[in-house]
Amino acid sequence: MNVWRDIPVLSNSSVSMRDPKRVEQILTSMRNAGASTLQVISDFDMTLTRFACNGKRCPTSHNILDNSKLISEDCKAKLKNLLDTYYPIEIDSTRSVEEKLPLMVEWWTKAHELLVQQKIIKDRLALVVRESEAKLRDGYQQFFDHLHQLSVPLLIFSAGIGDVLEEVIRQAGVFHPNVKVFSNYMDFDESGVLRAFKGELIHIYNKREGALLNTEHFKELQSRGNVLLLGDSLGDLNMADGVMDLQNILKIGYLNDKVDERRQSYLNSYDIILEKDETMDVPNAILQYIT
């Protein structure tokens, strides 16, 4: 067995690893343990979906709504203003998580308040997603179908909007029964008008708390101690903190933006980083190898 020979995409120029030997050991252990011991935990926006297409940014689940006809022009301007203010903070590698956390809570809270004021109608969401420019990464079909065929649980853990992201994967035909979503869900009144968001807010820096709140889910998966984790933010590294009896974890991080500034911090915390890679080729090849 030779991991590098069997997974040639790992030699692509977009792929970097801090410690290839460790990656090799994890992949070998996971392959020996097999699909019945595996679970996949993935972020959604800019991890399962594309960051850019033809040089243009692709929308997050929030942006799908923000840019839609369900939002007034005045509100669109306010949401755009929030994005222009807070997104640079999100990706600023010179600020600490402690400094960013309250600002991220502020962003999510203000954006959700604005969305609620728009009296969004539940029945319109499907059309808005259909008309959006959201795109799952190339190779998504193989990724979702392969996990489904092997009955490997896929947890999508997102600080985006659950109702919107579910619609994206439903319309792509890959919302299989092995997929479970933790996210921010909309609360509609009896006439189907948005009145609030349900439960505790999930933002990019409290995925650890979110994971620990969902002990039931992880208890059901107790026999699956091998985890493949996919993310694009350093906050995504904590998505597996609720996993019980963890054996091995392989963390794959998409480095989409501010690549040079953030490379070192991503290398320090993810096992494999994928720079400006809009495909699922590496996760797919790894899944082929270990299952």
Footprint of Mg ion (CB under 5 A): 43, 45-47, 232
**Least distance CB 10 / Mg ion (angstroms):** 22
How would you classify the pairing of strands 186-188 and 56-57? unpaired
Nearest residue (CB) to ligand C5P, 62 versus 100: 62
Nearer to Mg ion, 46 or 154 (CB): 46
Residue 178 near residue 201 (C-beta atoms within 8 A): no
- How far apart CA 57 and CA 180 sit, in angstroms, is 27
Identify whether 66 is a catalytic site residue.
no
Q: Which residue has the tokens 């006439």?
A: 191
With CB under 5 to 8 Å by kind, the binding choice for 108 among Mg ion, ligand C5P, none is ligand C5P
Query: DSSP E strands: which ranges in the chain?
Result: 15-17, 38-42, 52-53, 56-57, 154-161, 179-184, 186-188, 194-197, 226-231, 248-255, 272-275
Q: How far is the CB of 83 from ligand C5P (least distance, A)?
A: 6
Nearer to Mg ion, 23 or 58 (CB): 58
Q: Using CB under 6 A as the criterion, which residues of the chain lie in contact with ligand C5P when the complex forms?
A: 43-46, 60, 62-63, 87, 90, 107-108, 111, 158-160, 204, 233
The burial of 31, by beta-carbon neighbours within 10 Å (0-12 exposed, 13-18 middle, 19 or more buried), is given as middle
Residue 155 Cβ vs Mg ion, minimum distance, rounded to whole Å: 14
Q: How far apart are CA 84 and CA 79, in angstroms?
A: 9
**Active site residue: 6, 19, 45, 236, which one?**
45
Q: Which is nearer to ligand C5P, 182 or 218 (CB)?
A: 182
For Mg ion, the closer of residues 234 and 285 by Cβ is 234
43, 236, 277, 281: which one is catalytic?
43
User: 228 - beta bridge partners?
Assistant: 40, 250
Nearest approach in angstroms of CB 232 to ligand C5P is 6
Residue 42 interaction partner, one of Mg ion, ligand C5P, none, beta carbon < 5-8 Å per kind: none
Exposure string (b/e) for 247-266, b if CB count within 10 Å is 16 or more?
ebbbbbbbbbbeeeebeeeb
Give catalytic status of residue 45 as yes or no.
Answer: yes
Q: Is the dihedral of CA 112, 118, 122, 123 positive or negative?
A: negative
Q: How far apart are the first and last CA of the chain?
A: 14
**Of ligand C5P, Mg ion, none, which one does residue 158 interact with (CB within 5 to 8 Å by kind)?**
ligand C5P
Q: At what angle do helices 73-90 and 97-117 cross, to 10 degrees?
A: 170
Residue 287 near which of ligand C5P, Mg ion, none (CB within 5-8 Å, type-dependent): none
Residue 222's CB: how many other CB atoms inside 10 A?
10
Q: Which is nearer to Mg ion, 129 or 290 (CB)?
A: 129
Residue 223 beta carbon to Mg ion: minimum distance, rounded to whole angstroms: 28
> What are the residue numbers of the active site?
43, 45
